[in-house]
Structure 1
Amino acid sequence: MDFLFEIGLEEVPARMIAGAEAELLKRVTGLLERERLVAAGAVAKSFSTPRRLAVLVSDVTEKQEDLSEEMMGPSAKIAYKDGVATPAAEAFARKAGVGVGELRTVTTAKGEYLAATVVKAGKTAAQVIQAELPKELAGIYWAKNMYWRAGKPEKFVRPVRWMVAMLGGEGLSVGFAGFVSNDVTYGHRVLFGAERVELSAPAEYEGKLLEAKVIVDVEARRHRIRKELDRVCRTVPAMRWREDHALVDKMTHLTEWPSVILGSFDAAYLDLPEEVLVTVMRDHQNYFAVEDAAGKLAPYFLAVLNTEADEAGQAVIRHGNERVLRARFNDARFFWEFDQRTALLDRMSLLENVTFQKDLGSYAKKSEQVWQLCRLLLEKAETRGVQADFNALHDAAKLAKTDLTAELVKEFTELQGVIGGLYARAQGISEKAAVAIYDQYKPTSMEDSIPRSIEGALLAIADKANTIAGMFGLGLEPTGSKDPFALRRAANGIVKILAEMPVGLTLGDVAFRAASGQEELSRKIEVFFAERLEFYLREAKGQAYDVVKAVLVVRADDVRDAVARALAVTAVRGGADFAAVSSAFKRMKNILAQAAEKGFAAAAVVDVALLTDAEELALAEAAAELAPRVASLRGAGDYVGALEAIAGLRPQVDAFFEAVMVMSPDEAVRGNRLALLGKVLGDFSGIAEFSEIVVAG
Structure 2
Amino acid sequence: MADFLFEIGLEEVPARMIAQAEAELLKRTVGLLERERLVAGAVEAKSYSTPRRLAVVVKGVLARQEDVSEEVLGPATKIAFKDGQPGPAAVAFAKKNGVEVSALRVVTNAKGEYVAATSVKAGRSAAAVLAEELPKEIAGIYWAKNMYWRAGRPERFVRPVRWLVALLGDEIVPVSFGGYEAGRVTYGHRVLFGDAAIAVTPASYVEELAKASVMVDVEGRRHVIRKALDKVCRTAEGTRWREDHGLVDKMTHMTEWPSVILGGFEKEYLALPEEVLVTVMRDHQNYFAVESADGKLAPHFLAVLNTVADETGQAVIRHGNERVLRARFNDARFFWEFDQRVPLEERVALLENVTFQKDLGSYAAKSVRVGALALSLAATVPGVDLEALKAAARLAKTDLTTELVKEFTELQGEVGGLYAEAQGVAQAACNAIYDQYRPVSTEDRIPRTVEGQLLAMADKADTIAGMFGLGLEPTGSKDPFALRRAANGIVKILGEGATGLGIGQVVRAAVGDNLVLVRKLEVFFAERLEFYLREAKGQAYDVVAAVLGAGADDVRDAVARAEAVTAVRGSEDFAAVSAAFKRMKNILAQAAEKGIAPGTAVDISLLKDGAELALAEKAAEVKPEVAALRGAHEYRGALELIATLRPQVNAFFEAVMVMDPDEAVRANRLALLGKVLGDFGGIAEFSEIVVAG
Which has the larger displacement, 654-663 or 305-314? 654-663
Find the counterpart in structure 2 of residue 313 from structure 1: 313
CA distance in structure 2 between the partners assigned to 1:594 and 1:408 by the alignment:
65
Aligned ranges 1:223-622 → 2 under 5 Å:
223-379=223-379, 381-382=380-381, 386-622=382-618
SS in 2 for 1:299: strand
Instruction: Please report how far the alpha carbon of residue 100 of structure 1 lies from its aligned counterpart in structure 2 after TM superposition.
Output: 1.5
CA distance in structure 2 between the partners assigned to 1:16 and 1:275 by the alignment:
27
Residue 121 of structure 1 pairs with residue 122 of structure 2:
yes
Q: Which amino acid aligns with 1:254?
A: M
CA distance in structure 1 between the partners assigned to 2:162 and 2:596 by the alignment:
73
Find the counterpart in structure 2 of residue 137 from structure 1: 138
- Residue pair 1:261, 1:302 contacting (<8 A) in 2 also: yes
Can you list the C-alpha shifts for 1:102-140, whole angstroms capped at 9, x where unaligned? 112211222212211111110111111111111111111
Instruction: Please report how far the alpha carbon of residue 649 of structure 1 lies from its aligned counterpart in structure 2 after TM superposition.
Output: 1.2
Instruction: Please report how far the alpha carbon of residue 517 of structure 1 lies from its aligned counterpart in structure 2 after TM superposition.
Output: 2.2
CA distance in structure 2 between the partners assigned to 1:107 and 1:526 by the alignment:
57
Can you list the C-alpha shifts for 1:283-332, whole angstroms capped at 9, x where unaligned? 00000000001100000000000000000000000000000000000000
- Residue pair 1:8, 1:160 contacting (<8 A) in 2 also: yes
Can you list the C-alpha shifts for 1:148-184, whole angstroms capped at 9, x where unaligned? 1222222211111111111011122211111111111
Instruction: Please report how far the alpha carbon of residue 40 of structure 1 lies from its aligned counterpart in structure 2 after TM superposition.
Output: 5.3
Residue 214 of structure 1 pairs with residue 211 of structure 2:
no
What's the RMSD between the two structures over aligned residues?
1.0
Residue 44 of structure 1 pairs with residue 45 of structure 2:
yes
Can you list the C-alpha shifts for 1:434-476, whole angstroms capped at 9, x where unaligned? 0000000000000000000000000000000000011101111
CA distance in structure 1 between the partners assigned to 2:93 and 2:532 by the alignment:
56
CA distance in structure 1 between the partners assigned to 2:42 and 2:329 by the alignment:
52
Alignment TM-score, normalising by the size of structure 2? 0.99
Find the counterpart in structure 2 of residue 186 from structure 1: 187
Find the counterpart in structure 1 of residue 64 from structure 2: 63
Find the counterpart in structure 2 of residue 13 from structure 1: 14
SS in 2 for 1:257: coil
Q: Which amino acid aligns with 2:601?
A: V
Q: Which amino acid aligns with 1:439?
A: D
Instruction: Please report how far the alpha carbon of residue 612 of structure 1 lies from its aligned counterpart in structure 2 after TM superposition.
Output: 2.0
Instruction: Please report how far the alpha carbon of residue 364 of structure 1 lies from its aligned counterpart in structure 2 after TM superposition.
Output: 0.6
Instruction: Please report how far the alpha carbon of residue 556 of structure 1 lies from its aligned counterpart in structure 2 after TM superposition.
Output: 2.2
SS in 2 for 1:458: helix
SS in 2 for 1:280: helix
CA distance in structure 1 between the partners assigned to 2:192 and 2:596 by the alignment:
83
Residue 641 of structure 1 pairs with residue 641 of structure 2:
no
Residue 623 of structure 1 pairs with residue 619 of structure 2:
yes
SS in 1 for 2:61: coil
CA distance in structure 2 between the partners assigned to 1:521 and 1:610 by the alignment:
47
- Residue pair 1:512, 1:519 contacting (<8 A) in 2 also: no
Q: Which amino acid aligns with 1:214?
A: V
SS in 1 for 2:118: strand
CA distance in structure 2 between the partners assigned to 1:133 and 1:585 by the alignment:
49
CA distance in structure 1 between the partners assigned to 2:108 and 2:56 by the alignment:
48
Q: Which amino acid aligns with 1:618?
A: A
List structure 1 segments (4+ residues) > 3 angstroms apart after TM superposition.
none
- Residue pair 1:442, 1:450 contacting (<8 A) in 2 also: yes
- Residue pair 1:37, 1:62 contacting (<8 A) in 2 also: yes
CA distance in structure 2 between the partners assigned to 1:244 and 1:107 by the alignment:
70
Which has the larger displacement, 490-499 or 665-674? 665-674
CA distance in structure 1 between the partners assigned to 2:579 and 2:479 by the alignment:
40
Find the counterpart in structure 2 of residue 203 from structure 1: 203
CA distance in structure 2 between the partners assigned to 1:315 and 1:600 by the alignment:
87
Q: Which amino acid aligns with 1:528?
A: F
CA distance in structure 2 between the partners assigned to 1:202 and 1:491 by the alignment:
47
Find the counterpart in structure 2 of residue 177 from structure 1: 178
CA distance in structure 2 between the partners assigned to 1:621 and 1:73 by the alignment:
63
Residue 650 of structure 1 pairs with residue 651 of structure 2:
no
CA distance in structure 2 between the partners assigned to 1:695 and 1:146 by the alignment:
48
CA distance in structure 1 between the partners assigned to 2:478 and 2:651 by the alignment:
53
**Gap runs ≥5 in structure 2:** none
Find the counterpart in structure 1 of residue 675 from structure 2: 679
SS in 2 for 1:649: helix
CA distance in structure 1 between the partners assigned to 2:257 and 2:331 by the alignment:
32
- Residue pair 1:165, 1:181 contacting (<8 A) in 2 also: yes
Which has the larger displacement, 10-19 or 585-594? 585-594
CA distance in structure 2 between the partners assigned to 1:424 and 1:415 by the alignment:
14
- Residue pair 1:618, 1:652 contacting (<8 A) in 2 also: yes
- Residue pair 1:9, 1:52 contacting (<8 A) in 2 also: yes
CA distance in structure 2 between the partners assigned to 1:80 and 1:499 by the alignment:
73
Q: Which amino acid aligns with 2:389?
A: L
**Gap runs ≥5 in structure 1:** none
SS in 2 for 1:202: coil
CA distance in structure 2 between the partners assigned to 1:515 and 1:603 by the alignment:
40
CA distance in structure 1 between the partners assigned to 2:512 and 2:56 by the alignment:
55
- Residue pair 1:46, 1:56 contacting (<8 A) in 2 also: yes
Q: Which amino acid aligns with 1:202?
A: P
Find the counterpart in structure 2 of residue 2 from structure 1: 3
CA distance in structure 2 between the partners assigned to 1:330 and 1:281 by the alignment:
13
- Residue pair 1:33, 1:40 contacting (<8 A) in 2 also: no
Q: Which amino acid aligns with 2:327?
A: A
CA distance in structure 2 between the partners assigned to 1:304 and 1:662 by the alignment:
72
Find the counterpart in structure 2 of residue 158 from structure 1: 159
Aligned length: 692
Report % sequence identity: 73
- Residue pair 1:603, 1:675 contacting (<8 A) in 2 also: yes
CA distance in structure 1 between the partners assigned to 2:588 and 2:371 by the alignment:
50
Q: Which amino acid aligns with 1:24?
A: L
Instruction: Please report how far the alpha carbon of residue 39 of structure 1 lies from its aligned counterpart in structure 2 after TM superposition.
Output: 2.8
Which has the larger displacement, 492-501 or 567-576? 567-576
Instruction: Please report how far the alpha carbon of residue 340 of structure 1 lies from its aligned counterpart in structure 2 after TM superposition.
Output: 0.5
CA distance in structure 2 between the partners assigned to 1:420 and 1:366 by the alignment:
16
Note closer, same or farther for the CA distance 1:478–1:40 as it changes in structure 2 (3 Å cut): farther
Can you list the C-alpha shifts for 1:362-410, whole angstroms capped at 9, x where unaligned? 111111111111111111x23xxx2201100000011100000000000
SS in 1 for 2:117: strand
Q: Which amino acid aligns with 2:19?
A: A
Residue 27 of structure 1 pairs with residue 23 of structure 2:
no
Find the counterpart in structure 1 of residue 77 from structure 2: 76
Instruction: Please report how far the alpha carbon of residue 84 of structure 1 lies from its aligned counterpart in structure 2 after TM superposition.
Output: 2.1
